[in-house]
Structure 1
Amino acid sequence: MTAGQRGRYSKFIRPISIFLDLCAINFGAFFIPDWLNLDRYYFLLYINIVWIGLSFIVKFYAVYRFTTPVEIFSKLVRQGLLYLLLLIAFFPFAKTAMFSGRALAIYIVSVMTVITIFKFLLFYYLKKYRIITGSNLRNAVIIGYTPEAIRLRELFDKRIDYGYRFMGYFSDKKSNENIKGRLDTLKQFSIDNGIDEIYCSLNEISNDQLKDLVEFADSTHKSIKFIPDTKEIFSKSLKVDYLELFPVLSLQRTQLHEPAVKGFKRVFDILFALFIIFTVLIWLVPVLAILIKLESKGPVFFKQGRPGINETEFFCYKFRSMKMNETTEREASKNDPRVTRIGRFMRKTSMDELPQFINVLVGDMSVVGPRPHLWSQNKSYGQKVKKYMVRHYVKPGITGLAQVRGYRGEIETDDDMINRIKFDVFYIENWSFLLDLKIILQTVINIFKGEEKAY
């Protein structure tokens, strides 16, 4: 089988996926009731433009052989929610159209269910196809024989479903039975053996060799990729910026700094906060207000200045769970005498945190994010704990990864704070919408299950 035969169908996979999705959204549109009085021509034109435009923005079809199911699901959720919002936006501008939330919900659920099935079936059967038939494989070589290069080869062997066939190491610096040849033999070997991808350890080659290799890859339509070696800086997200025609690499802090992601997360925060306010707080506030007032004098709500995004202070709201006292910069401890009986119940069930959905609505907080610390903790641990200040890159949250992993409540030792920061930083650097949903779900489970440090 030649290289051309191996890869001849791959170029059709993405167009087929796009075609099937467009069929789904257009076919589904014909089942929208006639009484909505939609102009079918303009509506169909609109939904196709919106779908394709959103797909480009959220990189919906950027699914590769190494993409995980979690990433695919995250793309589906983002695409579906944004598509729904833009569908709703169509009706104010369609003068004769009647809006129906029920009809739109049926349409979006039906269409996204079909598209989800399409996407996962295509993804699943392509993997099975590679494993069973040994087809749709990409031949790969690695320049260098470093620990990172060896780990990459082991990954190729372990993850057969990725569809890579390892063809050998090339190196001028080392010579053993594992090395296929020197760098000057790589070009001819790549041509003779239909190599698709060349992975290169930057420590192994000079600038002249690298330039020559890039020119060879360009002229022969082969992909060249670089292994980060042991330099930690290259393991982070990098982007290319241009100063006129001069390229420079810069570090990307996190996905949460992407405008599209920030906008999506903000829309979700608003919708979720409104849902909680109008389904829970609207009746719970009067009940708790009476109970709080009956037990102790003072306001129903407690507010306290906390450091938010970029260390900008905001007032964090809670139901008051303590007797009135002058000590506000000390955390509650186990069997704290300041905590009232209703306050103990609220803290155990995390009800005292519910007013923070107002903070979410006005934009001071997010539903999920690092919990806002006291100013005194910022001063105490800011220079002591590595990466502590990274948590201020994003908005603080009502709940967070550290909290659902058990690191909530009183800080008794430095290790408590160190572990909390580790989870906060992991969340920031590895954010996904699915991770947010998992944290929210785990928070609800913990509320009913009860937590040891919820006091």
Structure 2
Amino acid sequence: MKTRYSIYLRPSTILLDLFVLNLWLYLFIILPNVIRGMEIFNFLFMMNLGWFLSANILGIYHIFRLTKYIRIFKDSIKQLFVFSFMAFAFFTIYRIPLSSDLVNYLLNLLFFLGLSILLFRSLSYFLIKRYRLIGGNYRNVIIAGVAENSQKLAEFFTHRREYGYRFHGFFSEKENGIKAIGKLSDIPAFANKINLHQIYCNVGELNVEELNELIRFADNNLIEIKFIPDPKVDYGQNLVLQYYDYIPVFALREIPFQTDMKWIKRGFDLVFSFLVIVFILSWFIPILGLLIKLESKGPILFKQKRNGLNNHEFEVYKFRSMYLNGHSDSKQTSENDERLTKIGKFIRRTNIDEIPQFINVLKGEMSVVGPRPHPVFMTEQYAKIVDKYMVRHFVKPGVSGLAQIKGFRGEIQDTEQMRNRIRLDKFYIENWTLMLDIEIIIKTILQTFKRNKTVY
């Protein structure tokens, strides 16, 4: 009989990490006599404790069967940054001068440590996948119900063997073109015969009595039970279980900005927008303003009503890129648009016209990163024809966003393009992290001078 859980995987990973850490500490800190005496023991203790704590805070060792490699990679990079800060902080706290030699030793330590940890974790990840492909570290699973979504899950188990699920068949009281290997009442005997690990129940097909009976059986026999949602209901991908006293309630999504994380995002917005206004806008407005004024009459900045947080209207600031006209609030910019000035074409292609929106960020009307704010007429138009369009107004709009770095900038030529934007906006809202914001900012800067055929 195979063990149900990989009980040795997590402890062995922790021990391997600590071995690699202490090996490089010995080679780059202790052996060259960078520190001496009792400080060595303090340093080793603090570094080992720091490594273990940072790993637990970031959930490094909470690796599950469905964990993606990209998450392991990103979390390892985050841990290395946290550990780097702690290493340099140690020398500051103990008032040990950071000489050029010491800094060099520390940088070498961090480089080789990071390289080794990434290498070992990557090898472990792919070796486990390989081990599962040849039949090891598996879970015996069955599905109660034969509806379409049950069949899709069965296909996943069958075709993605690297995740280590051994699918044995369906159990159901119904027939749906799929042959079940037994009825629901046959599950207990079958479970004992194959050492069953998990039961997946289709809640859209089973009634309350059948579900409760399976839950009782699973709980009394140390079998995990999981639920496949009713496909007729669109739950999304971020269903969150919340408790009101002892009453369980499912929320369709948890928006990070509605938790304490909103203060982190707002703090970042304040600092970033202040720096842009002081070090860029302060000298850029007079120069660009002169060029705008020389080519056409009118103000330097253009103001337009857009929809923001909770669909409230606000005035967004942009460098004026058009001759004065009466269609700005009712017509998109299009290719060969006669309203555009020469300087306007350049600043729109390079996104320079958006820089004054950091004033909106400082005022709290926008964020540095978020769904792009649309003119009021577009919001009214697309809210009627694009499903879930209004979800984007759960958060503040951004100067740049995930949709923009994925190529959805400029003129919206059809409804499908708008659907793609909304899909990416929704993903951003439900999966926000500060690192994602920083990634979007960097990619936005890199794309500044990249030609986009829908940006005029």
| TM-score scaled by length of structure 2 | 0.79
8 A contact 1:237–1:253 mirrored in 2: yes
Whether 1:140 and 2:141 are equivalent positions in the alignment is: yes
Give, in whole Å, the separation in 1 of the partners of 2:257 and 2:52.
23
Whether 1:14 and 2:13 are equivalent positions in the alignment is: no
Give, in whole Å, the separation in 2 of the partners of 1:314 and 1:153.
49
With over 3 angstroms needed to count, the CA separation of the structure-2 counterparts of 1:450 and 1:20, relative to structure 1, is same
Q: In structure 2, what is the equivalent of residue 428 of structure 1?
A: 429
Q: In structure 2, what is the equivalent of residue 128 of structure 1?
A: 130
Indicate the structure whose relative CO is greater, using CA pairs within 8 Å and at least 6 residues apart: 1
Supply the AA of the counterpart residue of 2:59: K
Name the structure with the higher helix share: 1
Give, in whole Å, the separation in 2 of the partners of 1:349 and 1:39.
54
TM alignment of 1:11-50, pairs within 5 A: 11-25=7-21, 31=28, 34=34, 48=48, 50=50
Structure 1 residue 123, shift from structure 2 partner: 0.7
Whether 1:232 and 2:246 are equivalent positions in the alignment is: no
Supply the AA of the counterpart residue of 1:121: L
Q: In structure 1, what is the equivalent of residue 336 of structure 2?
A: 335
Structure 1 residue 390, shift from structure 2 partner: 0.6
Supply the AA of the counterpart residue of 1:71: R
8 A contact 1:292–1:300 mirrored in 2: yes
Structure 1: any 5+ residue segments left out of the alignment? Answer: none
Give, in whole Å, the separation in 1 of the partners of 2:112 and 2:364.
33
8 A contact 2:408–2:421 mirrored in 1: yes
Give, in whole Å, the separation in 1 of the partners of 2:94 and 2:289.
46
TM alignment of 1:8-407, pairs within 5 A: 10-25=6-21, 31=28, 34=34, 48=48, 50-81=50-81, 94=93, 96=95, 108-131=110-133, 133-174=134-175, 178-254=179-255, 259=260, 288-289=288-289, 291-296=291-296, 300-304=300-304, 306-312=306-312, 316-323=316-323, 329-330=329-330, 331-357=332-358, 364-407=365-408
SS of corresponding position for 1:63: coil
Instruction: Answer with 210-219 or 297-306: which moved more.
Output: 297-306
With over 3 angstroms needed to count, the CA separation of the structure-2 counterparts of 1:266 and 1:159, relative to structure 1, is farther
8 A contact 1:300–1:319 mirrored in 2: yes
Give, in whole Å, the separation in 1 of the partners of 2:348 and 2:223.
59
SS of corresponding position for 2:8: helix
8 A contact 1:144–1:200 mirrored in 2: yes
Structure 1 residue 144, shift from structure 2 partner: 1.5
8 A contact 1:195–1:222 mirrored in 2: yes
8 A contact 2:256–2:432 mirrored in 1: yes
Deviation string, structure 1 residues 391-420 (Cα, Å, up to 9, x no partner): 112232233343345443244665554453
Give, in whole Å, the separation in 1 of the partners of 2:83 and 2:150.
41
8 A contact 1:36–1:97 mirrored in 2: no
Structure 2: any 5+ residue segments left out of the alignment? Answer: none
Deviation string, structure 1 residues 296-320 (Cα, Å, up to 9, x no partner): 5666554555433333555544334
Percent of aligned positions with the same letter in both sequences? 40
Supply the AA of the counterpart residue of 2:250: L
Structure 1 residue 346, shift from structure 2 partner: 1.4
Deviation string, structure 1 residues 280-329 (Cα, Å, up to 9, x no partner): 77886675455445545666554555433333555544334334667653
SS of corresponding position for 1:136: coil
Supply the AA of the counterpart residue of 1:17: T
Structure 1 residue 155, shift from structure 2 partner: 1.0
Give, in whole Å, the separation in 2 of the partners of 1:91 and 1:301.
50
Instruction: Answer with 269-278 or 405-414: which moved more.
Output: 269-278
How many pairs are equivalent? 448
